[in-house]
């Protein structure tokens, strides 16, 4: 188990891109989503996958359990997800701090959010000039809430075709 302590901000311009890593495409589906806990399957770059369980234990703190899972299993789980969100994640180092910048696509095209993981809830990292308002704790900007606007039914076979190697579909989608 790992404790996750993070703060989240809106991004107000593209100047972060000058210092960003190559992006990783994330498709994440929520199998269980409650106010203080969720189970998520995440497919990364259409190549590998992780299953994550998060339990909120404080305003900024969550206990996190994350496991690599077989890609084929992740595809099948995505088919059962109640909601799904697509984004590309970039890493940006600013003054020795690692920021993760998520650029959303689909129904959230244009939304860009930056997160930073902290060692302690009282940490005050140096904020880059491209950060806008803090949205930590604002449910409207949680991935879980954003995914609710893009329910799996809107994705249907489009997601499966995008993520699936040619000619292979999970058992649930073969019917």
> What are the catalytic residues?
30
Q: Which of helix, strand or coil describes residue 42?
A: strand
Distance CA 65, CA 54 (A): 6
Q: Which of helix, strand or coil describes residue 39?
A: strand
Distance CA 5, CA 156 (A): 34
Closest CA to 172 of 74, 89, 84: 74
Q: What are phi and psi of 106, to 5 degrees?
A: 70, -135
Distance CA 157, CA 166 (A): 13
């Amino acid at each position: 188990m790992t404790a996750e302590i993070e703060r989240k901000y809106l991004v107000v311009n593209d100047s972060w891109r000058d210092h960003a890593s190559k992006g990783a495409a994330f498709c994440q589906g929520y199998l269980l989503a409650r106010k203080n806990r969720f189970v998520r399957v995440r497919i990364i770059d259409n190549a590998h996958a992780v299953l994550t369980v998060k339990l909120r234990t404080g305003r900024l703190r969550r206990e996190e359990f994350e496991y690599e899972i077989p890609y084929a299993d992740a595809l099948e789980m995505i088919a059962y997800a109640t909601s799904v969100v697509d984004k590309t994640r970039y890493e940006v180092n600013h003054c020795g701090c690692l920021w993760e910048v998520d650029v959303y696509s689909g129904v959230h095209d244009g939304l860009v959010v930056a997160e930073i993981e902290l060692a302690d809830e009282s940490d005050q990292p140096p904020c880059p000039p491209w950060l806008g308002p803090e949205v930590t704790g604002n449910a409207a900007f949680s991935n879980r809430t954003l995914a609710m606007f893009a329910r799996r039914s809107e994705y249907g076979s489009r997601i499966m075709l995008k993520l699936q190697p040619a000619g292979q579909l999970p058992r649930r989608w073969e019917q």
